[in-house]
Amino acid sequence: MKYKRILLKLSGEALMGERQYGIDPKILAEYADEIKQIHDKGVEIAIVIGGGNIFRGVAGASNGMDRVQGDYMGMLATVINGMALQGALEDKGMLTRLQTALKIEAIAEPYIKRRAVRHLEKGRIVIFGAGTGNPYFTTDTAAVLRGVEVNADVILKGTRVDGIYDSDPEKNANAVKFDSISFDDVIKKGLNVMDTTAFTLSQENELPIVVFDMNKKGNLMKICEGENVGTVVKI
């Protein structure tokens, strides 16, 4: 396998499937199947999942809610998604640990870097919930931060799109996809891969990012085997 340890970033919206909000158990089961394939090959897996299917702090703030309060609500949404994914993974026979940046000891361990690394070394899948534990930071930033902390080889960002394009492929039928692109070129071209804080943190720590379509079966395995899937952002 090309990568020994990965940080998989999943969007909360992806869990909705065809629904308007919430969690589609069918999507959860499909994701668990994809993750199990690489887990069975010995890949060490850490996961950060968003909360946009339940609550988004920025949206709350735009409707008059206090931004800090809204962001904490969003963090709790990621914990709910983390618990749902944990259940789906364990249904497939995998050992997991949910660690949260906010203390919720009845349902999850507090995030401790050394403990997280030990779980990964023992073959457990570690799900990181509650973002960074701080308002004004996205789950993209949390994903890169945790990826750097646990010495992941790569950030795999699973989305609905099969890579990075020079324009929005959902709006422009002639959009051109990049197989690989440098961090500098992403900035020069003004492409939207992650929020600026997350992207800069990844660049500074020379942690590559692969953007790919998580909903296409087999993609996760292909990436871990070294195939050209999605778009690689590298130094």
Feature table: binding site: 9-12, 51-52, 56, 71, 132-139, 159, 165, 168
Which residues participate in the annotated binding site for ATP? Answer: 9-12, 52, 56, 159, 165, 168
Phi, then psi, of 206 in degrees rounded to 5: 50, 45
Task: Confirm if 70 and 58 have CB atoms less than 8 A apart.
Answer: yes
Which residues participate in the annotated binding site for UMP? Answer: 51, 71, 132-139
Task: Confirm if 68 and 135 have CB atoms less than 8 A apart.
Answer: yes
Angle at alpha carbon of residue 19, lines to 71 and 130, rounded to 5°? 25
What is Dmax (Cα atoms) for the chain?
Answer: 51
* Alpha-carbon 97 to chain mean position: 16
Task: Confirm if 220 and 157 have CB atoms less than 8 A apart.
Answer: no
**Which two structure tokens, joined as six digits, stand for 58?**
């920025």
**Which two structure tokens, joined as six digits, stand for 57?**
């702090």
Strand partners, 221: none
**Which two structure tokens, joined as six digits, stand for 39?**
């887990």
Residues, the chain? 235
φ/ψ region of 12 (left if φ > 0, alpha if ψ in -120 to 50, else beta) reads: alpha
